[in-house]
């Protein structure tokens, strides 16, 4: 009888330790998920900043340099002013497209906390192995 009581108390003690360890592990995994999501949101914010910078740079370039380049092309190549305008507009469009593509590439990163999900799956598997 004493042996059985000792066996039951050891089992219940081990079970309570496993439950406590799982609760602690779950809290740590939640903190990891929050950190990972925060990092991914920061990347999204940076992507927005890059896209905004692209728009601002394209706008500034259009007003600051546009007239000088148009006049230079028109006078150097002796072509009509409207053709000079189109040439300059095409060059600015290429620069804006490059900046936009950089911002879009950064914005396409997935927000799912993949490492955390993988770790939780491993933890569940390990817990199942220990309980059986």
Structure tokens at 16: 């309570």
pLDDT single digits (tens) 71-91: 999 999 999 999 998 998 898
Tell whether pTM > 0.75: no
Averaged pLDDT, 16-25: 83
Its sign, for the CA torsion 21, 26, 32, 34, is negative
The answer to whether 73 and 79 are in contact (CB under 8 A) is yes
Q: Where are the beta strands (DSSP E) in the chain?
A: none
């Amino acid at each position: 009888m004493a042996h059985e009581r000792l066996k039951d108390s050891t089992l219940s003690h081990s079970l309570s330790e496993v439950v406590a360890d799982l609760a602690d592990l779950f809290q740590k995994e939640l903190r990891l998920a929050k950190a990972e999501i925060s990092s991914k949101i920061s990347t999204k914010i940076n992507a927005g900043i890059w896209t905004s910078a692209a728009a601002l740079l394209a706008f500034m370039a259009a007003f600051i340099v546009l007239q000088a380049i148009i006049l230079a092309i028109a006078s150097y190549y002796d072509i009509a002013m409207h053709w000079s305008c189109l040439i300059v507009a095409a060059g600015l469009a290429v620069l804006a497209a490059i900046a936009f593509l950089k911002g879009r590439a950064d914005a396409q990163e997935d927000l799912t906390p993949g490492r955390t999900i993988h770790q939780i799956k491993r933890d569940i598997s390990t817990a199942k192995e220990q309980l059986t």
